[in-house]
């Protein structure tokens, strides 16, 4: 049994059909990357999984348990086990780094102040930012904000980590750093990772498996080597258009250094 199972999942917003029939298995401990064009439903998939959105049909199971429910309270145990690094990090600008990182801990766990402080310190240490604990998000670079977002996710010690575009908009050095952190987190904590990205060189670096969403379906999935050999033109166009030969130069050109 896979750790996470999407079965015949349907999701639409009014007339806009995002998923017609989504089927995907994610095994415990693997790093799965979701690729696909803008607006194809990558973020929606992650939000369905943590219950921020509800399916219109089909089932999603986590550890054998069906998680789609109409009762908000039923999601609390799931949100203790699955953490998400949101697209754009989504830190609270009016809160210090400390308060941002401890947010999920305070919401989901009853910890003594000393334990709370220790967990915050450890999570920030894991991303190399223990010195920023008293700073405000506005004091940080974009790459650092993403790392604080990751520390906030790590602080709850999740079994599953969802990363929505963790490297988009970052310079090459910060991108490498985030990719290394994703790999390191997986190695250290044995977490199952689901990563959404446009960046094929990151995808090739961090993934055990890659799945591509296109117009309501998963149109390809496989290991990095298998995906590199897919001949479907929709997959080829995406991979070839998003995997620059000289990654650093291309990234610099795109983001102007
Ligand atoms: N809460 C919502 N209400 C209405 N439509 C939505 C909502 N969330 C997403 N959508 C629509 O669903 C589709 C899929 O959105 P989603 O955010 O998953 O795209 P994405 O693949 O993550 O794109 P990007 O790469 O640009 O982040 C889009 O057409 C989007 O406009
Ligand atoms: Mg998105």
State both tokens at 19.
């998923």
Model's pTM, two decimal places? 0.89
CA 244 centroid distance within chain: 22
Backbone angles phi, psi at 12, to 5 degrees: -135, 155
Instruction: Note whether 226 and 49 are within 8 A (CB).
Output: no
User: pLDDT by residue (tens digit) across 35-67?
Assistant: 999 999 999 999 999 888 999 999 999 998 888
* Domain 4-255 grouped into CATH 3.60.21.10: no
Q: Which residues pair with 217 in a beta bridge?
A: 214
Mean pLDDT score, 69-85: 80
Cβ-Cβ contacts under 8 Å for 171 (sequence gap 6 or more): 143, 251, 252, 255, 257
User: Hunting for tokens 């896979």 — which residue is that?
Assistant: 2
CA distance 55 to 49: 10
Tell me if 11 CB under 6 Å of ligand 1: no
Query: Ligand 1: does its nearest atom lie under 6 Å from the Cβ of 14?
Result: no
pLDDT per position as a tens digit, 138-174 = 999 988 999 999 999 999 999 999 999 998 888 888 8
Domain residue extents for the chain: 4-255
39 CB less than 6 Å from ligand 1? yes
Q: Which of 171, 182, 163 is nearest to 141 (CA)?
A: 171
Residue 2 pLDDT greater than 60, yes or no: yes
Find out whether 237 and 212 touch, Cβ atoms under 8 Å: no
Determine the Cα–Cα distance for residues 233 and 64; give it in Å rounded to an integer. Answer: 35
Residue nearest to atom 19 of ligand 1 (CA): 39
């Amino acid at each position: 049994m896979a750790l996470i199972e999407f079965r015949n999942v349907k999701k639409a917003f009014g007339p806009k059909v995002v998923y017609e029939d989504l089927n995907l298995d994610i095994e415990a401990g693997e790093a799965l990357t979701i690729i696909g064009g803008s607006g194809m439903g990558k973020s929606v998939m992650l939000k369905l999984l943590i219950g921020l959105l509800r399916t219109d049909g089909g089932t999603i199971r986590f550890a054998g348990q069906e998680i789609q429910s109409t009762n908000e309270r039923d999601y609390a145990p799931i949100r203790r086990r699955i953490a998400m690094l949101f697209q754009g990090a989504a830190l609270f600008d009016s809160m210090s780094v400390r308060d941002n990182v401890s947010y999920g801990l305070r919401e989901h766990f009853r910890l003594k102040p000393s334990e709370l402080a220790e967990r915050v310190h450890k999570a920030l240490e894991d991303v190399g930012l223990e010195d920023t604990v008293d700073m405000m998000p506005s004091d940080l670079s974009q790459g650092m904000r993403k790392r604080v977002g990751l520390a906030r996710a790590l602080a709850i010690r999740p079994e599953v980590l969802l990363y929505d575009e963790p490297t988009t908009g970052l310079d090459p050095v910060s991108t490498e750093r985030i990719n290394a952190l994703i790999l390191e987190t997986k190695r250290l904590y044995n977490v199952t990772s689901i990563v959404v990205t446009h960046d094929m060189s990151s995808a090739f670096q961090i993934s055990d498996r890659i799945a591509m969403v296109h117009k309501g379906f998963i149109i390809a999935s496989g290991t990095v080597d298998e995906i590199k050999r897919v001949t479907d033109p929709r997959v080829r166009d995406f991979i070839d258009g998003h995997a620059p030969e000289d990654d650093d130069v291309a990234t610099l050109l795109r983001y102007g250094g």
